Structure 1
Amino acid sequence: MSLAMRPDCKRCGADLPAEAPGAFICSFECTYCAACAEALDDVCMTCGGELVDRPTRARKFHADHPPSAKRQFQG
């Protein structure tokens, strides 16, 4: 089972492409940009879990393992 690779920051809505570095996730895959993770002191605002670097997914794998298109920002 692969990560959902959510496309945006849960806190500010910034785009976070699966193939790009700079995203942070908790164990429930809540996803944040680097600026929001830093502002939250690397603690998920939803569950209180630790935020860690999300790995990237090479574009060549997107067809067989597509990143999520469902945006999570509720702005």
Structure 2
Amino acid sequence: MWVCPIEALRVYVAARPQGEGPLFVHLDSRPVTKREFLTVFRRALGLAGRPPNQYGVHSFWLGALVTAWSSWVF
């Protein structure tokens, strides 16, 4: 089964609590911690047949920085 990450993000954003703050939050709007995100991320990688320990969250931060920079957020 393949999941389109763009469509999955659209569905998530439509369902998540509205307002400013972090993208990934719990149902009570508390932010998902780095450790929680990494645990779920690595579990998903394993289910996808990828080696989970070869990936970290650094690439997400770098991607966000590059996106912000290219959008002239700074």
Pick the TM interval, shorter chain. Answer: under 0.3
- Higher fraction of strand: 1
Q: Which has the higher contact order (CA 8 A, sep 6+)?
A: 1
Question: Please, what TM-score do these two structures have when normalized by structure 1?
Answer: 0.27
- Higher fraction of helix: 2
